Structure 1
């Protein structure tokens, strides 16, 4: 899917530049620049997902820390909400990262 979209974007850019300038050199340079920008955007999105996963993991660790309060006999009122919500976020982010990395 990603490769098809990449091919369509690069071909449409090349055709647009060719019909506008009638220069093969401009087509090659513009297509390479477009390809580089798309790769940078893809890399940045993967880094963003990794960063977001790290934030969600820290939220999960905090929830586990609050879980240790059970031993003392104190339980925060929204303990179940925090642990269930963070587990759902971690699972959703894992699936999103896997779907973005697989073609």
Structure 2
């Protein structure tokens, strides 16, 4: 998700939380606490999702590298066998 879309969604959710809190409690203090809590929770969720995406990407990349190494080892073994059979 692009940052601009995320930021607009974040403002929408925090604003909705603030309005709901104000209509329920009629207290500015409650609105501030609820808004800061929602803001913090959404930031933590975004950070965790970025860590998950980085982890998943690195895991997929390491899997591709293992496959390439395996193919290279197989190729070297076949070349070595062909060399030894040719010298017999």
Mark the runs of 5 or more structure 2 residues left unpaired by the alignment. Answer: 80-88
1 CA distance for matches of 2:68 and 2:76?
A: 12
**SS state of the match for residue 78, structure 2?**
coil
Using structure 2 for the length normalisation, give the TM-score: 0.78
The alpha-carbon deviation at position 72 of structure 1 amounts to: 2.1
Q: Which residue of 1 aligns with 2:78?
A: 73
2 CA distance for matches of 1:4 and 1:50?
A: 23
Q: Which residue of 1 aligns with 2:83?
A: none
* Structure whose residues are more often helix by fraction: 2
1:56 aligns with one of 60, 66, 69: 60
Using structure 1 for the length normalisation, give the TM-score: 0.68
Pair member with larger Rg: 2
The alpha-carbon deviation at position 22 of structure 1 amounts to: 0.3
TM-align CA RMSD:
1.3
Runs of 4+ in 1 over 4 A off after TM superposition: none
Q: How do 1:1-103 and structure 2 match up within 5 A?
A: 1-68=5-72, 69-73=74-78
Which structure has more RCO (C-alpha within 8 Å, separation ≥ 6)? 1
